[in-house]
Amino acid sequence: MEVTEQIKLVDVVDNRLTSFLEARATEMNTISPDLEHLLAYSNSMLASGKRFRARFCYWGWRAIGASGSDTDLVGGVETLDDVEAVIALATSLEVFHAAALVHDDIMDNSDTRRGLPAAHRAFEKIHSSRTYSGDSERFGQSTALLLGDLLLAWSDDLLSAALADLPAGIAAATRTQFSIMRQEVTLGQYLDIHEEAAWWHTAEEHRLDRALRVVTYKSAKYSMEAPLLIGASLAGASEDQLSDLADFGLPLGIAFQLRDDVLGVFGDSEVTGKPSGDDLREGKRTVLIALAEQRMPETSKRVFNEMLGDRSLTPDQIEVMQSTLRDTGGLDEVEVMIADYAKEAMQALDRAAISAGAAKELGRLATAVTERRS
């Protein structure tokens, strides 16, 4: 595939997603028209997103490969004969991300995603609106589980397409990085639900470290570090080069998820696409909660924890909990942590043995992911 210099990477990935889903639609339509709602939800979910994982994958590749020149394309892609592999790989990461979100929303019992009903809620509504037999909630959850599995399979299809014509060593190294990512995010997801269940069985002084472990494995590594390493492996990166990119990607990923945790409590619903304070209703035991708890008087702590995870919290109750998190200094400390991790990432980027053009664009991306409002 040849891509003109001024086309934005996100547009190229969007086009690849569109063509991939069109091909899947043809296949699915030959099986049954009843599969239409699976395809429709896949299209709506994959139609939006900031494509951070795709972008980090691409710039990890550019940082190492012959294409990693000092040309500053500001998120665009140059004319390259070999760009098809990295575009397929970047697209695979976006589909994997969608699968993770579908499964995560089921486990968190979330109602919305990107301003739309979460997958299990959308399928639940289909069941009830068509007056099907059985339980609508169970139908919604079961269908969403299968959709998540289908998206995982599609992600692997795109990965295989990316690696099909590459030298065996490059293909094996890239697939290994992808496999590590899949295992880590799955185990991190388990650690997340485990911490919610085991929180009261953990000494308070250990809760912050355990919350940070969840941040690292559930989100940080697969959001920033893994896409960089996957893209770099496609370009034949050495162990030292992979280490340089990991030193940048991991602290940046932690800063990214800490920002996400702040937005989950204090974000504007019109911007985030989720109700304000939704993480409080879902009872998420985040770094923010762990820090605030350390500073709460026992009485306030007891009341706060009785409210945390209550799905019926009113806007006024959410506001009280938000004030508590501010008043304890927990919010301020998380903001300091975000700044510190971002600084660590930028220092690592300055030391990294990668092309100047890629380093410049990665620096821009680092600012975008840590200062975002959605």
> What is the per-residue pLDDT across 286-312, written as a single tens digit (0 to 9) for each?
999 999 999 999 999 999 999 999 999
Query: What pLDDT was estimated at residue 374?
Result: 76
Amino acid identity, position 238: S
Average pLDDT of 91-107?
A: 97
Residues 68-77: b if buried by 16+ CB within 10 A, e if exposed: beeeebebbb
Both tokens assigned to 40: 């429709």
- Residue 72 pLDDT > 70: no
Between CA 159 and CA 162 the distance in angstroms is: 5
Q: How confident is the model at residue 1 (pLDDT cuts 50, 70, 90)?
A: very low
Kindly list the domain boundaries of the chain, sorted by start residue. Answer: 9-370
pLDDT, one tens digit per residue, over 55-69 is: 999 999 999 975 444
pLDDT, one tens digit per residue, over 116-169 is: 899 999 999 999 999 999 999 999 999 999 999 999 999 999 999 999 999 999
- Residue 222 pLDDT > 90: yes
Q: How confident is the model at residue 82 (pLDDT cuts 50, 70, 90)?
A: low
Select the CATH number that applies to the domain covering 9-370 from these four: 1.10.600.10, 1.10.760.10, 3.30.450.20, 1.10.10.10. Answer: 1.10.600.10
Between CA 312 and CA 260 the distance in angstroms is: 22
Picking from 304, 298, 302, the residue whose alpha carbon sits closest to that of residue 324 is 304
Average pLDDT of 10-27?
A: 95
Q: How confident is the model at residue 272 (pLDDT cuts 50, 70, 90)?
A: confident
Q: What percent of the chain has pLDDT over 90?
A: 81
Between CA 210 and CA 145 the distance in angstroms is: 27
Between CA 145 and CA 97 the distance in angstroms is: 14
- Residue 81 pLDDT > 50: no
Adjacent-strand bridge partners of 116:
113
Average pLDDT of 191-218?
A: 93
Between CA 141 and CA 123 the distance in angstroms is: 8
Query: What pLDDT was estimated at residue 65?
Result: 72
Picking from 223, 92, 98, the residue whose alpha carbon sits closest to that of residue 162 is 92
Residue that has been written with the tokens 């397929």 in this structure: 88
Q: How confident is the model at residue 371 (pLDDT cuts 50, 70, 90)?
A: confident
Query: What pLDDT was estimated at residue 2?
Result: 38
Average pLDDT of 275-279?
A: 86
What predicted TM-score, i.e. pTM, was given to this entire model?
A: 0.91
Between CA 51 and CA 10 the distance in angstroms is: 6
Between CA 47 and CA 43 the distance in angstroms is: 6
pLDDT, one tens digit per residue, over 302-340 is: 999 999 999 999 999 999 999 999 999 999 999 999 999
Alpha-helical runs (H) found in 109-135: 119-129
Residue that has been written with the tokens 């289908």 in this structure: 150
Picking from 60, 267, 75, the residue whose alpha carbon sits closest to that of residue 178 is 60
Q: Write down the mean pLDDT value for the chain.
A: 91
Number of Cβ atoms within 10 Å of the Cβ of 316: 7
Between CA 102 and CA 132 the distance in angstroms is: 23
Query: What pLDDT was estimated at residue 116?
Result: 87
Q: How confident is the model at residue 78 (pLDDT cuts 50, 70, 90)?
A: very low
Both tokens assigned to 54: 């795709």
Query: What pLDDT was estimated at residue 112?
Result: 87
